[in-house]
Amino acid sequence: MTTSSPLTGPDSVPAGASSARPTVTELRLSAFRKHRGATFPVAPLTLFAGPSGSGKSSVLQAYEALARLGAGDELDEAFPDPAACVPESAGPDAQGRRGFRVGCTVDGPAGPVRLDLAVQAEPELRIVGERLTCGRQTLLTTALRDPGRSTVQAAWHTAGSVSVTRAPLPDDRLGTALLPLRVAGKTDGQLRVLAAAEQVVVALRSVFACDPQPYGMRRPVAAGEGRLRRGCDNLAEVLHRTRSECAKRHARLAAAARTGCAGEVADLAVEELGDGTVRALLGRGEGRDATPVGRLGEGELRYLGLALVLLTGPGVLAMDQAAEVPSAYQSLTVLADGFDRCLDPRQARELALLAAEMTARGHVRLVGAVADAGFARGVEGATVVDLVP
In this prediction, residues 267-275 reach a mean pLDDT of 91
Chain-centroid distance, C-alpha 78: 13
pLDDT confidence of residue 121? 96
d(CA 34, CA 29): 9
Q: Which of 98-107, 315-324, 327-336, 337-346 has the lowest mean pLDDT?
A: 315-324
63 with 366: CB under 8 angstroms? no
Average pLDDT value for the chain: 89
What average pLDDT score do residues 264-270 get? 92
Give the torsion sign (CA, 115, 17, 353, 209): positive
Query: What is each CA distance from 320 to 43, 167, 228, 356, in whole angstroms?
Result: 23, 29, 12, 24
Q: Is the pLDDT of residue 262 over 50?
A: yes
State residue 161's pLDDT score. 65
Q: Looking at residue 326, what is its pLDDT? A: 58
Quick check: 223 and 242 in contact, CB under 8 A? no
- What pLDDT, on a 0 to 100 scale, did the predictor assign at position 304? 96
Query: What is the DSSP pairing of strand 364-370 with strand 45-49?
Result: parallel
User: Of the candidates 165, 80, 164, 67, which has an alpha carbon nearest to the alpha carbon of residue 117?
Assistant: 67
Any bridge partners for residue 280, and if so which? 270
Compute CA distances 43 → 8, 328, 333, whole Å: 15, 19, 11
What would the mean pLDDT of 305-310 be, rounded to a whole number? 95
For 204-237, write each residue's pLDDT tens digit. Answer: 999 999 999 999 999 999 988 888 999 999 999 9
pLDDT for res 65: 98
Q: What percent of the chain is predicted at pLDDT more than 70? A: 92
* Single-letter code of the amino acid located at 340: D
User: Is pLDDT of 277 > 90?
Assistant: yes
Q: Which residue would you say has higher pLDDT here, 33 or 377?
A: 33
pLDDT above 50 for 8: no
Q: Give the model's confidence band at 244: pLDDT under 50 very low, under 70 low, under 90 confident, else very high.
A: confident
Which pLDDT score, from 0 to 100, does residue 17 have? Answer: 36
* Average pLDDT over every residue of 175-184: 92
pLDDT, position 323: 57
pLDDT of residue 302: 97
Give the per-residue pLDDT at 6.
26
Mean pLDDT calculated for residue range 280-284: 93
pTM: predicted TM-score of the whole model, two decimal places: 0.91
Residue 240 has pLDDT above 60, yes or no: yes
**Burial annotation 145-178 (CB, 10 A radius, 16+ → b, else e):** eeeeeebbebbbbbeeeeeebeeebbbbbbbbbb
pLDDT in the model for residue 318? 82
- SS in 3 state form for the chain? CEECCCCCCCCCCCCCCHHHCCEEEEEEEEEECCEEEEEEECCCEEEEECCCCCCHHHHHHHHHHHHHHHCCCCHHHHCCCHHHHCCCCCCCCCCCCEEEEEEEEEECCCCCEEEEEEEEEECCCEEEEEEEEECCEEEEEEECCCCCCCEEEEEEECCCCCCEEEEEEECCCCHHHHHHHHCCCCCHHHHHHHHHHHHHHHHHHCEEECCCCHHHHCCCEECCCCCECCCCCCHHHHHHHHHHHCHHHHHHHHHHHHHHCCCCCCEEEEEECCCCEEEEEEECCCCCCCEEHHHCCHHHHHHHHHHHHHHCCHHHECCCCCCCCCHHHCCEEEEECCCCCCCCHHHHHHHHHHHHHHHCCCCEEEEEEECCHHHHCCCCCCEEEECCC
**At 294, phi and psi to the nearest 5?**
-60, -20
